[in-house]
Amino acid sequence: MVKITYIQPDGTSRTCVNFEGMTLMHLAVGNLVDGIDAQCGGMMQCGTCHCYIAPEWLDRVGVAPPDERAMLEAIEGVELRPGSRLSCQVQLGEELDGLVVEIPANQPGV
């Protein structure tokens, strides 16, 4: 089991426990974390699961691959940061125990 902490725009946090094979998006949706809307269900088509990986975790999580980055860049109103990721594309494993993820104040189209 891996603990992931989601930080809301107002600074409040929520820690959730994942099960093998989940993505950041699945964990957030399954635990009703505000701000991860996942309108496309994890198909990398809507951007409503955008999140920011805390800088100290980028080496372990990795930056967005070119196709994911292109999707993020194509969405209007998304503040991109070095740690911008679509949470549907981040697979959770033991190496990410303690991961901290920030939720943007606004998601596209929501």
Q: What is the pLDDT of residues 16-56, one digit of tens each?
A: 998 778 999 999 999 999 999 999 999 998 899 999 999 99
Domain tally for the chain? Answer: 1
Cβ pair 61, 53 in contact under 8 A: yes
Helix (H, G, I), strand (E, B) or coil at 95: helix
Q: Is residue 107 part of a domain?
A: no
| Per-residue pLDDT at 110 | 58
Q: Is residue 25 part of a domain?
A: yes
Strand 2-7 relative to strand 13-18, pairing = antiparallel
| Per-residue pLDDT at 20 | 72
CATH number, domain at 53? 3.10.20.30
Q: Is residue 110 part of a domain?
A: no
Nearest to 16 by CA among 44, 36, 41: 36
% of the chain surpassing 70 pLDDT: 98
Of residues 1 and 5, the one with the higher pLDDT is 5
Q: Is residue 94 part of a domain?
A: yes
Q: Is residue 109 part of a domain?
A: no
Q: Is residue 23 part of a domain?
A: yes
Of residues 45 and 109, the one with the higher pLDDT is 45
Q: Is residue 71 part of a domain?
A: yes
pLDDT at 87 over 70: yes
Q: Is residue 108 part of a domain?
A: no
